[in-house]
Amino acid sequence: MAKKVLKRIDPKNDFFEHSNIRIKFHGGDGHSVCSPIVSAFLSLALNLPIPAGIAMTGQLSDDDEMLLRVGGIRDKVGCY
């Protein structure tokens, strides 16, 4: 996903062509960390920091084209 987004926003950036980054998640752990991992890779590739104070969660669609909605945010952060 990060490669696809980078090619869309900065076609001349070849960061991922010269990087050997691999991450493997076991079981169901990978789904909820997709958006933070993609954001971290893009931050690295573009040399732009992610602003402080941002919380992320989210799953990518099966074709890695979009971030899916998440539910239960209030429950997850303890707000009632």
Q: Report the alpha-carbon distance of residue 53 to residue 1 in Å, rounded.
A: 24
Domain boundaries, the chain: 1-8+30-80
Confidence (pLDDT) at 25: 67
Active site (annotated) includes residue 61: no
Question: Could you tell me which of 8, 7, 6 has the C-alpha nearest to residue 47?
Answer: 6
pTM summary value: 0.70
Per residue in 45-80, pLDDT tens? 999 999 998 877 777 777 767 777 777 777 777 766
* Exposed e or buried b per residue across 32-67, where buried means at least 16 C-beta atoms within 10 angstroms of its C-beta: ebbbebbbebbeebeeeeeeeeeebbbebeeeeeeb
Per residue in 10-35, pLDDT tens? 999 999 999 888 877 665 655 667 78
Q: Report the alpha-carbon distance of residue 80 to residue 43 in Å, rounded.
A: 33
Confidence (pLDDT) at 31: 64
Selecting among 32, 39, 43, 61, the annotated active-site residue is 32
Selecting among 4, 43, 61, 76, the annotated active-site residue is 76
Active site (annotated) includes residue 76: yes
